[in-house]
Chain A
Amino acid sequence: MTKELDKEYYKAERKAEWRNKLRKEIKSKERTNVVRVHMPEADPNVRNKSNIEVNKGLTLEMAVSESSRCLDCVVPTCVSGCPVGTNIPKFVKYIESGDILGAAKVLKENNSLPAICGRVCPQEIQCEAQCVYVKKLSKEGSAIGYLERFAADYERESGNSSIPELASPNGIKMAVIGSGPAGLTVAGELAKFGYDVTVFEALHDLGGVLKYGIPEFRLPKDIVDFEINTIKQMGVKFITNFIVGKTASINDLKNEGFKAFFVASGAGLPNFMNIPGENFNGIQSANEFLTRVNLMNGADANFDTPVHTGKNVVIVGGGNTAMDSVRTAKRMGAERAMIVYRRSQEEMPARAEEVKHAIEEGIEFINLASPIEYFANVNGMVTKMRVQKMQLGEPDASGRRRPQPIEGSEYDIDVDSVIIAVGVSPNPIIQQSMPDLEVTKWNTIKVDENMMTSIPGLFAGGDIVRGGATVILAMGDGRKAAQGMHKYINETILAEV
């Protein structure tokens, strides 16, 4: 999945004197001989008992060395792999030149959340997969994700954080529904255009999945808050405890003067498998488990929210949410923290890095198996799950080999906690409140090429449109939607003036 690249723009940029000079300092041959940097990581047997961040970040020396590997290609194919179109060669070369704050500024031109993307984006299948090292030289790609994180962290820790340049205020009110990655991106982009932006959040805390979903050891909450704070400094207003479609309708907000809307209400409804015993106690969705731990601090005795975990914990599923859940369960004291996944490790949708980290931390993988029934004790608490072994057949619509049950292969696993992480369906609240809004058969909101829905002035993006994707794809939608909304305002409201 790559995007069209504005080759002339990047060619012109590359001709800047400082870039020419930097390229000449080291020969390409020497650059290609530099070994790709390794991310320093916390000790697996220490980190699996605490919430410390797993990836520790690069040192300045590591970052400069890694940035020197980048060949500053004439056609930077890496950029075409980035859903938000980050100017990758420019920020990487700024790092090589030692101007780290300059690099951070470049990142913020297209991305309001660089410290987050540097941590949770699947760079290995996006920008880094399009790097010349991978495509032509059969070597490991430039570590763009690590460098992005480095520049963003360096800027934050320097205390000299910059705010992107803003157009002068135009006084036009825009509403963003949901403060997850898609909503935050739209808010930041619209603020740059000069709009008066308000973000409405249903929960009591900002950040959406970045707060309730992704655990502290992978994305520290204070980093999320820092990036949200930058968007606040750009003039964006945030209102928590406000559910558009319930607390007030889109029409109510129109009456309060909002001219266009962006719906980023996310993937709500967790999927279950509808198998016998699934509603016994001790069986919960990954959303519930992670929300109780991450948003409500349920694992901390000083907080009132309880959370159920156990000694023998099974997580059903093979995505990033499953990895986050199983590693959280391990940290909460599970003796056996297990993944039960119906395909093999090769087909797992989770990032390779997350699977690697999970294995290092002592997570057990029971692949090619799928639960078929749960059993409970007299108190209705789950004690056992029955799984059936699977084998892989022909590829299905997703291109992955379809798992097929092996008859007579059933066996039981003792469990006292089960977490279901088999995907989510779109949150239904906005759709329920707007019967005219066109949706797909999966109840995701339909949008056009500008991310506008069937209702003029109402845009949507992120999981409410995609049904369950990544942070960066949601942000890509956000950038596109902000441009669509700007165009809509120019063609309607401003054209009338």
Chain B
Amino acid sequence: MFKIVKKEFLSENVARLVIEAPYIAKSRKAGNFIILRIDKNGERIPLTIADADMEQGTITVIVQRVGVSSHKLCAMNAGEMLLDVVGPLGTATHIAKIGTVLCAGGGVGVAPLFPIVQAMKLAGNRVITVIAARTKDLVILEDEMRAYSDELIIMTDDGSLGTKGLVTQGMEEVIQREKVNEAVVIGPAVMMKFAALTTKKYNIPTVASLNTIMVDGTGMCGACRVSVGGKTEFVCVSGPEFDAHKVNFDEMLNRLKAYKTKEAEGYRDYLKSLEATPALV
């Protein structure tokens, strides 16, 4: 059993959980993820490790409420137990002193971007971070990002915070202004697709961290497969990071829909069952 030691909402539908997992806290690196299971009927949920505290033996994950499992997870509180947590999974980000690194994150993808921003900065790079969200209330980890970035650019669709516009506009402004040696893009698949197209125009080597469907997360099931440069790769063991210019994002976008109908039905039924259950208080 793995204890939740802290839980808070970063925005209406995004929660941050700090979980006791000493081995993982010690061995994790930027780019790694975990798989957790809430209870014995639960599914295995992959989540990127957003932060860790080796001394406290804890890891931090950030979860967005989109379906049954993430709803249940967001409803959990400090002191409660998760049945299973396993990791760190995936190949760690290649961190080196490269020069200027442009880190771009969209929506909840800002969470997995944070340890990379942190590690890139600590490796001596000039780090320019662009984070984007629909509106002000959905912008997460602003202070954390600012602490490890030479410059932080915030983009919102409605202009309620930072500059009005898409993440790609913020990225392009930087690219046109100064030499960028590498870009890292993390967010919804469609955002990564367009961010990759943007950097490709300027021939900037770009890494994307893919958030595909997974079951075991150890290379066993192949649910996470993506086409990279025409070759099938397993995100859980060869990724989650790949050359963004080689990833077939259209195929990935389709594969992410595999269980959409079933999951939407399941979530609707679950929310109904919550309404039908009288509050305990």
Report the Cα distance A280→B225, complex, angstroms.
Answer: 11
The answer to whether residues A246 and B89 also contact, given A269-B234, A280-B254 and a CB cut-off of 8 A, is: yes
A417 to chain B, nearest CB (A): 12
Q: Is the CB of A247 within 8 A of B234?
A: no
Interface residues of A in 287-305 (CB under 8 A from B): 287-288, 291-292, 296-297, 302-305
Q: Is the CB of A305 within 8 A of B218?
A: no
Contact of B257 with A by CB under 8 A = yes
The A interface is mostly helix, strand or loop, or mixed, namely loop
Contact of A411 with B by CB under 8 A = no
Contact of B86 with A by CB under 8 A = yes
Q: Is the CB of A202 within 8 A of B254?
A: no
Q: Is the CB of A304 within 8 A of B69?
A: yes
Chain B residues lying within 8 Å of A247, measured Cβ to Cβ, are 23-24, 27, 86-88
B49 to chain A, nearest CB (A): 12
Kindly state the interface size class of chain A when it binds its partner. Answer: 35 or more
- Nearest 8 CB-CB pairings of A with B: A380-B254, A288-B221, A241-B86, A268-B219, A305-B43, A204-B84, A285-B222, A304-B43
Q: Is the CB of B84 within 8 A of A241?
A: yes
Contact of A169 with B by CB under 8 A = no
The answer to whether residues A248 and B27 also contact, given A305-B43, A429-B237 and a CB cut-off of 8 A, is: yes
Q: Is the CB of B215 within 8 A of A288?
A: yes
Q: Mark B16-55, 1 if CB is under 8 A from A, else 0.
A: 0000000110010000000001000111100000000000
Contact of B134 with A by CB under 8 A = no
Contact of A40 with B by CB under 8 A = no
Report the Cα distance A296→B43, complex, angstroms.
Answer: 7
Report the Cα distance A19→B169, complex, angstroms.
Answer: 87
Nearest opposing residue in chain A for B72, CB measure: A304
Chain B residues lying within 8 Å of A291, measured Cβ to Cβ, are 215-216, 220-221
The B interface is mostly helix, strand or loop, or mixed, namely mixed
Contact of B136 with A by CB under 8 A = no
Q: Is the CB of B220 within 8 A of A427?
A: yes
Report the Cα distance A379→B259, complex, angstroms.
Answer: 12
Nearest opposing residue in chain B for A282, CB measure: B258
Report the Cα distance A427→B24, complex, angstroms.
Answer: 21
Contact of A33 with B by CB under 8 A = no
Q: Is the CB of A279 within 8 A of B225?
A: yes
Interface residues of A in 188-243 (CB under 8 A from B): 202-204, 212, 240-243
Q: Mark B184-222, 1 if CB is under 8 A from A, else 0.
A: 000000000000000000000000000000011011111
B53 to chain A, nearest CB (A): 17
Q: Is the CB of A288 within 8 A of B223?
A: yes
Chain A residues lying within 8 Å of B42, measured Cβ to Cβ, are 303-304
Q: Mark B250-269, 1 if CB is under 8 A from A, else 0.
A: 01001101110011001000
Q: Mark A411-455, 1 if CB is under 8 A from B, else 0.
A: 000000000000000011100100000000000000000000000
Report the Cα distance A296→B45, complex, angstroms.
Answer: 12
Q: Is the CB of B219 within 8 A of A427?
A: yes
Q: Is the CB of B37 within 8 A of A204?
A: yes
Q: Is the CB of A284 within 8 A of B69?
A: no
Report the Cα distance A241→B44, complex, angstroms.
Answer: 12
